[in-house]
Amino acid sequence: MRKLVAAGNWKMNTTLDSAGALASDLAKKVQQESSVEVILCPPFPYLTTVKEKVSGSSIKIGGQNCYHETEGAFTGETSVGMLQDIGCDWVILGHSERRHVMGETDADINKKTVAALEKGLGVILCVGELLEERQANKTNEVLQTQMEGGLSGVSAEALKNVIIAYEPVWAIGTGVTASTEEAESAHDFLRKWLTSNYNADVAESTRILYGGSVKPDNAEELMSQPNVDGALVGGASLKADSFGGIIDAAV
Ligand code: PEP
Protein backbone atom coordinates (compact mmCIF):
# COMPACT_ATOMS: atom_id res chain seq x y z
CA MET A 1 0.00 0.00 0.00
CA ARG A 2 1.59 3.27 -1.10
CA LYS A 3 1.12 6.30 1.16
CA LEU A 4 -0.24 9.17 -0.94
CA VAL A 5 1.77 12.37 -1.18
CA ALA A 6 0.73 16.02 -1.48
CA ALA A 7 3.83 18.05 -2.30
CA GLY A 8 3.81 21.82 -2.75
CA ASN A 9 6.37 23.48 -5.01
CA TRP A 10 6.21 27.15 -4.11
CA LYS A 11 8.74 28.02 -6.86
CA MET A 12 10.04 31.61 -6.58
CA ASN A 13 6.94 32.83 -4.74
CA THR A 14 5.99 34.04 -1.23
CA THR A 15 7.74 36.46 1.13
CA LEU A 16 9.22 35.64 4.52
CA ASP A 17 5.92 36.62 6.16
CA SER A 18 3.59 34.90 3.73
CA ALA A 19 5.71 31.73 3.66
CA GLY A 20 5.59 31.53 7.46
CA ALA A 21 1.85 32.19 7.55
CA LEU A 22 1.13 29.57 4.87
CA ALA A 23 3.26 26.99 6.70
CA SER A 24 1.52 27.76 10.03
CA ASP A 25 -1.94 27.41 8.48
CA LEU A 26 -1.02 24.07 6.93
CA ALA A 27 0.58 22.83 10.16
CA LYS A 28 -2.75 23.35 11.93
CA LYS A 29 -4.41 21.14 9.36
CA VAL A 30 -1.88 18.32 9.15
CA GLN A 31 -1.58 16.53 12.46
CA GLN A 32 1.28 14.37 13.75
CA GLU A 33 -0.47 11.25 12.44
CA SER A 34 -1.56 11.76 8.88
CA SER A 35 -2.53 9.26 6.22
CA VAL A 36 -1.04 11.64 3.61
CA GLU A 37 2.63 12.59 3.35
CA VAL A 38 2.71 16.38 3.00
CA ILE A 39 5.92 17.98 1.70
CA LEU A 40 6.47 21.73 1.36
CA CYS A 41 9.20 23.08 -0.93
CA PRO A 42 9.53 26.82 -0.32
CA PRO A 43 12.30 29.03 -1.73
CA PHE A 44 15.70 28.34 -0.09
CA PRO A 45 15.76 31.49 2.10
CA TYR A 46 12.48 30.52 3.76
CA LEU A 47 13.18 26.85 4.44
CA THR A 48 14.27 27.41 8.04
CA THR A 49 11.21 29.51 8.86
CA VAL A 50 8.87 27.03 7.24
CA LYS A 51 10.57 24.18 9.11
CA GLU A 52 10.00 25.99 12.43
CA LYS A 53 6.36 26.70 11.63
CA VAL A 54 5.55 23.08 10.76
CA SER A 55 7.18 21.58 13.85
CA GLY A 56 4.61 19.51 15.73
CA SER A 57 2.94 18.43 12.50
CA SER A 58 4.00 15.61 10.20
CA ILE A 59 4.80 18.02 7.35
CA LYS A 60 8.22 17.52 5.78
CA ILE A 61 10.21 20.15 3.92
CA GLY A 62 12.24 19.94 0.74
CA GLY A 63 14.49 22.03 -1.46
CA GLN A 64 13.55 22.90 -5.04
CA ASN A 65 17.03 22.04 -6.32
CA CYS A 66 20.54 21.22 -5.13
CA TYR A 67 24.06 20.85 -6.49
CA HIS A 68 25.97 17.59 -6.72
CA GLU A 69 29.28 18.81 -5.23
CA THR A 70 29.66 18.79 -1.45
CA GLU A 71 31.39 22.18 -1.03
CA GLY A 72 33.69 24.66 -2.69
CA ALA A 73 33.76 27.40 -5.29
CA PHE A 74 30.26 26.99 -6.73
CA THR A 75 28.76 30.43 -6.31
CA GLY A 76 25.01 30.42 -5.91
CA GLU A 77 24.68 26.68 -5.43
CA THR A 78 23.32 24.72 -2.45
CA SER A 79 24.67 21.33 -1.43
CA VAL A 80 22.78 18.26 -0.30
CA GLY A 81 24.41 18.55 3.14
CA MET A 82 23.21 22.14 3.49
CA LEU A 83 19.63 21.10 2.79
CA GLN A 84 19.94 18.31 5.36
CA ASP A 85 21.49 20.69 7.89
CA ILE A 86 18.34 22.79 7.93
CA GLY A 87 16.01 19.82 8.17
CA CYS A 88 15.09 18.95 4.59
CA ASP A 89 14.01 15.37 3.92
CA TRP A 90 13.43 15.90 0.20
CA VAL A 91 14.66 17.74 -2.86
CA ILE A 92 12.84 18.28 -6.16
CA LEU A 93 15.11 17.46 -9.11
CA GLY A 94 14.53 17.64 -12.84
CA HIS A 95 11.61 20.05 -12.62
CA SER A 96 10.60 21.21 -16.10
CA GLU A 97 11.61 24.79 -15.28
CA ARG A 98 15.10 23.55 -14.36
CA ARG A 99 15.22 21.51 -17.57
CA HIS A 100 13.70 24.02 -20.00
CA VAL A 101 14.43 27.43 -18.47
CA MET A 102 17.80 26.73 -16.81
CA GLY A 103 18.89 24.16 -19.39
CA GLU A 104 19.59 21.22 -17.09
CA THR A 105 20.26 17.95 -18.87
CA ASP A 106 19.50 14.41 -17.79
CA ALA A 107 23.22 14.05 -16.99
CA ASP A 108 23.08 17.09 -14.64
CA ILE A 109 19.95 15.75 -12.99
CA ASN A 110 21.54 12.33 -12.59
CA LYS A 111 24.60 13.76 -10.80
CA LYS A 112 22.33 15.58 -8.36
CA THR A 113 20.09 12.54 -7.88
CA VAL A 114 23.05 10.29 -7.11
CA ALA A 115 24.57 12.88 -4.75
CA ALA A 116 21.29 13.34 -2.85
CA LEU A 117 20.60 9.61 -2.52
CA GLU A 118 24.16 8.85 -1.41
CA LYS A 119 23.61 11.18 1.55
CA GLY A 120 20.11 9.89 2.28
CA LEU A 121 18.18 12.90 1.00
CA GLY A 122 14.94 11.85 -0.69
CA VAL A 123 14.50 12.85 -4.34
CA ILE A 124 11.30 13.88 -6.07
CA LEU A 125 12.38 13.26 -9.66
CA CYS A 126 10.26 15.09 -12.23
CA VAL A 127 9.79 13.79 -15.74
CA GLY A 128 7.44 14.91 -18.50
CA GLU A 129 7.05 15.70 -22.15
CA LEU A 130 6.64 18.98 -24.02
CA LEU A 131 3.43 19.62 -25.96
CA GLU A 132 5.13 19.03 -29.32
CA GLU A 133 6.53 15.75 -28.03
CA ARG A 134 3.03 14.60 -27.00
CA GLN A 135 1.62 15.72 -30.34
CA ALA A 136 4.33 13.71 -32.11
CA ASN A 137 3.38 10.63 -30.02
CA LYS A 138 6.73 10.71 -28.29
CA THR A 139 5.52 10.85 -24.68
CA ASN A 140 6.71 7.38 -23.69
CA GLU A 141 10.01 7.81 -25.52
CA VAL A 142 10.69 11.05 -23.59
CA LEU A 143 9.71 9.47 -20.28
CA GLN A 144 11.97 6.51 -20.94
CA THR A 145 14.94 8.75 -21.79
CA GLN A 146 14.41 10.91 -18.71
CA MET A 147 14.01 7.90 -16.41
CA GLU A 148 17.08 6.16 -17.83
CA GLY A 149 19.12 9.36 -17.69
CA GLY A 150 17.98 10.58 -14.29
CA LEU A 151 18.23 7.22 -12.55
CA SER A 152 21.42 5.93 -14.13
CA GLY A 153 23.46 4.11 -11.47
CA VAL A 154 20.69 4.29 -8.85
CA SER A 155 20.21 0.93 -7.11
CA ALA A 156 16.89 -0.67 -6.20
CA GLU A 157 17.74 0.00 -2.54
CA ALA A 158 18.38 3.71 -3.18
CA LEU A 159 15.18 3.97 -5.19
CA LYS A 160 13.22 3.50 -1.92
CA ASN A 161 14.06 7.15 -1.30
CA VAL A 162 12.77 8.36 -4.67
CA ILE A 163 9.35 9.67 -5.61
CA ILE A 164 8.66 10.07 -9.34
CA ALA A 165 6.56 13.04 -10.46
CA TYR A 166 5.00 12.86 -13.91
CA GLU A 167 4.58 16.47 -14.97
CA PRO A 168 3.59 17.03 -18.59
CA VAL A 169 5.19 20.39 -19.39
CA TRP A 170 2.10 21.60 -21.27
CA ALA A 171 0.05 21.22 -18.07
CA ILE A 172 2.37 23.08 -15.70
CA GLY A 173 1.04 26.48 -14.71
CA THR A 174 -1.26 26.55 -17.76
CA GLY A 175 -4.59 25.65 -16.17
CA VAL A 176 -4.74 22.72 -18.62
CA THR A 177 -4.73 19.45 -16.69
CA ALA A 178 -4.00 16.08 -18.25
CA SER A 179 -7.15 13.99 -18.47
CA THR A 180 -7.34 11.14 -15.98
CA GLU A 181 -6.75 8.74 -18.91
CA GLU A 182 -3.64 10.63 -20.07
CA ALA A 183 -2.26 10.76 -16.54
CA GLU A 184 -3.02 7.11 -15.80
CA SER A 185 -1.51 5.96 -19.08
CA ALA A 186 1.77 7.81 -18.41
CA HIS A 187 1.88 6.57 -14.81
CA ASP A 188 1.23 3.01 -15.96
CA PHE A 189 4.10 3.35 -18.45
CA LEU A 190 6.40 4.64 -15.68
CA ARG A 191 5.46 1.81 -13.33
CA LYS A 192 6.10 -0.74 -16.06
CA TRP A 193 9.45 0.93 -16.70
CA LEU A 194 10.28 0.43 -13.02
CA THR A 195 9.29 -3.24 -13.26
CA SER A 196 11.51 -3.87 -16.28
CA ASN A 197 14.47 -1.82 -15.09
CA TYR A 198 14.29 -2.74 -11.38
CA ASN A 199 11.76 -5.30 -10.24
CA ALA A 200 8.09 -5.79 -9.39
CA ASP A 201 8.57 -4.91 -5.69
CA VAL A 202 10.24 -1.61 -6.52
CA ALA A 203 7.53 -0.80 -9.07
CA GLU A 204 4.80 -1.66 -6.57
CA SER A 205 6.24 0.46 -3.76
CA THR A 206 7.44 3.58 -5.65
CA ARG A 207 5.12 6.57 -5.44
CA ILE A 208 4.36 8.27 -8.77
CA LEU A 209 2.79 11.71 -8.42
CA TYR A 210 0.97 13.70 -11.05
CA GLY A 211 1.77 17.39 -11.47
CA GLY A 212 0.27 19.99 -13.79
CA SER A 213 -2.52 22.38 -12.82
CA VAL A 214 -3.81 20.21 -9.97
CA LYS A 215 -6.56 21.96 -8.02
CA PRO A 216 -8.94 20.87 -5.27
CA ASP A 217 -11.67 20.15 -7.82
CA ASN A 218 -9.64 17.81 -10.04
CA ALA A 219 -7.33 16.27 -7.41
CA GLU A 220 -9.67 13.54 -6.21
CA GLU A 221 -10.38 12.16 -9.68
CA LEU A 222 -6.69 12.19 -10.63
CA MET A 223 -5.67 10.49 -7.40
CA SER A 224 -8.38 7.86 -7.76
CA GLN A 225 -6.44 6.38 -10.69
CA PRO A 226 -4.68 3.16 -9.70
CA ASN A 227 -1.20 4.41 -10.57
CA VAL A 228 -1.51 8.01 -9.35
CA ASP A 229 -0.12 8.24 -5.81
CA GLY A 230 -0.61 11.90 -5.11
CA ALA A 231 0.24 15.29 -6.57
CA LEU A 232 3.08 17.74 -7.00
CA VAL A 233 1.37 21.10 -6.93
CA GLY A 234 2.61 24.52 -7.97
CA GLY A 235 0.10 27.40 -8.11
CA ALA A 236 -2.57 25.79 -5.93
CA SER A 237 -0.03 25.08 -3.17
CA LEU A 238 0.34 28.80 -2.47
CA LYS A 239 -3.00 29.12 -0.67
CA ALA A 240 -3.79 27.15 2.47
CA ASP A 241 -7.40 26.51 1.48
CA SER A 242 -6.62 25.21 -2.02
CA PHE A 243 -3.62 23.10 -0.95
CA GLY A 244 -5.72 21.96 2.03
CA GLY A 245 -8.40 20.82 -0.41
CA ILE A 246 -5.80 18.81 -2.33
CA ILE A 247 -4.55 17.23 0.91
CA ASP A 248 -8.18 16.33 1.74
CA ALA A 249 -8.55 14.72 -1.69
CA ALA A 250 -5.59 12.46 -0.88
CA VAL A 251 -6.96 11.34 2.51
C1 PEP B 1 4.81 22.43 -10.66
O2 PEP B 1 5.41 23.48 -10.64
O3 PEP B 1 5.41 21.39 -10.35
C4 PEP B 1 3.40 22.43 -11.04
C5 PEP B 1 2.81 21.28 -11.23
O6 PEP B 1 2.80 23.64 -11.20
P7 PEP B 1 1.21 23.92 -11.34
O8 PEP B 1 0.50 23.10 -10.31
O9 PEP B 1 1.05 25.39 -11.12
O10 PEP B 1 0.82 23.51 -12.74
β-sheet bridge partners, residue 60 = 39
Q: How do residues 43-94 score in pLDDT, each as one tens digit?
A: 999 999 999 999 999 999 999 999 999 999 999 999 999 999 999 999 999 9
Q: Which atom, in ligand 1's list, is nearest to the CA of 231?
A: 5
Taking alpha carbons only, the member of 43, 169, 166 closest to residue 97 is 169
Inter-residue contact 155 to 202 (CB < 8 Å): no
Tell me if 235 CB under 6 Å of ligand 1. Answer: yes
* Number of continuous H segments (helices) and E segments (strands) in the chain: 11, 8
Determine the pLDDT at residue 34. 80
User: Which amino acid is it at 183?
Assistant: A
**Residue whose C-alpha is closest to residue 154's, from 118, 192, 119:** 118
Q: Is the CB of residue 96 below 6 angstroms from any atom belonging to ligand 1?
A: no
More confident: 34 or 78: 78
Write out the CATH class of domain 5-250: alpha beta
- Residue 128 annotated as lining a ligand binding site: no
Q: Using the predicted structure, report yes or no on whether residue 32 has a pLDDT greater than 80.
A: no
Output DSSP code: residue 208: E
Could you tell me the distance, in angstroms and rounded to a whole number, from the CA of residue 71 to the centre of ligand 1? 30
List the residue whose alpha carbon is closest to atom 4 of ligand 1.
234
- Output the pLDDT for position 31: 81
Residue 248 host element (H or E)? helix 240-250
Tell me the catalytic residues: 95, 167
Ligand 1 pocket member 128 (CB < 6 A): no
In angstroms, the Cα distances linking 213 to 22, 24, 149, 161, 234 are 19, 24, 26, 25, 7
Evaluate: CB of 212 within 6 angstroms of ligand 1. Answer: yes
Q: Report the run of H or E that residue 184 belongs to, with start and end.
A: helix 180-197
- The DSSP secondary structure of 62-74, one letter per residue, reads EES--BSSSSSS-
Whether the model pTM is above 0.95 = yes
